[in-house]
Amino acid sequence: LEDAKIVEHEIMGDPQLGMMRLVFKTEIAKEAHPGQFVQLKVSSGLDPLLRRPISIAGVDTDKNEITLLYRLKGKGTKVLAQAKPGDELNLLGPLGQGFTIPQSGTLYLVAGGIGAFPLLPLAQKALEQGVKVCLFWGGENQRFLESAGMHLWEDLGITIEVSTMDGSMGIQGTVLDLLRNHELTESGQVAVCGPMMMMASVNEFFKETDFEVEASLEERMGCGVGACLGCVCTLQDEQGKLRRGKVCKDGPVFKAKEVVW
């Protein structure tokens, strides 16, 4: 638990879409692993709604900074949006279990909407390992994808394939249509984040292949610290034996085949 200073806080792209970029100077940068999140107290006061789990979307170990990307939605994020550079907010983290970092081959990232946010630090780390990274990203339209940080992905210099519902950017359709349209290598690693339905279909898509798929279930998180039980999910082992898991503690990243979708 530490009070961390805000270095930057800005709107990304179209203000109506409410995409925000928030940078903190914090020691968390030293330990953060891709896929982990922080628990942020958006202001002083006891209201639990004023604590928010937000995934880490960027790490700069030289500057000791982490970047959080979030979309304005509900009371907590509205209060958070008021915070200014120089302000200090209480941070807890890094929390949860993150993604496996591939050491070779190709890493395919599959993102639905703002599910792209937690995949950014994974791409960064994989590139450092000399791994080839390819992003498949589905969103509503061009305006959405550009406001949700397309430029951050372009800066990485990786292969990016997009789909939009209205065809204003990339192919018209879903991210699943994108995957079906592409020749993928024989095997490799896949990381997916987005709405539950979309992740379930991505898991289905790769089922009969040798791809290892990991999914971030961050959409299912509530308090972020094991207190609300709002994040309980059902998991299965290879024999099909079921057990309960907490998204905030045992995840948010799970092996996709272990999740009972």
Q: Please state, as a whole number, how many other Cβ atoms lie within 10 Å of the Cβ of residue 230.
A: 13
Q: Catalog residues that contact ligand FES under the rule CB under 6 A.
A: 221-224, 226-231, 246-248
Q: Given the complex with ligand FES, which of 39 and 164 has the nearer CB atom? A: 39
- Taking alpha carbons only, the member of 115, 77, 108, 96 closest to residue 197 is 115
Task: Report in angstroms how near the CB of residue 139 gets to ligand FES at its nearest.
Answer: 26
Q: Given the complex with ligand FES, which of 98 and 149 has the nearer CB atom? A: 98
Task: Report in angstroms how near the CB of residue 152 gets to ligand FES at its nearest.
Answer: 27
Task: Report in angstroms how near the CB of residue 56 gets to ligand FES at its nearest.
Answer: 16
Burial of 221 (0-12, 13-18, 19+ CB in 10 A): buried
- The answer to whether 77 and 50 are in contact (CB under 8 A) is no
- Taking alpha carbons only, the member of 122, 124, 129, 189 closest to residue 156 is 124
Q: Given the complex with ligand FES, which of 37 and 108 has the nearer CB atom? A: 37
Q: What is the CA radius of gyration of the chain?
A: 18
Task: Report in angstroms how near the CB of residue 249 gets to ligand FES at its nearest.
Answer: 7
Task: Report in angstroms how near the CB of residue 231 gets to ligand FES at its nearest.
Answer: 3
Rounded Cα–Cα distance for residues 50 and 31 (Å): 25
Q: Given the complex with ligand FES, which of 161 and 218 has the nearer CB atom? A: 218
Task: Report in angstroms how near the CB of residue 50 gets to ligand FES at its nearest.
Answer: 15
Q: Given the complex with ligand FES, which of 71 and 249 has the nearer CB atom? A: 249
- The answer to whether 137 and 161 are in contact (CB under 8 A) is yes
Phi, psi of 92 (to 5 degrees): -125, 125
Q: Given the complex with ligand FES, which of 6 and 232 has the nearer CB atom? A: 232
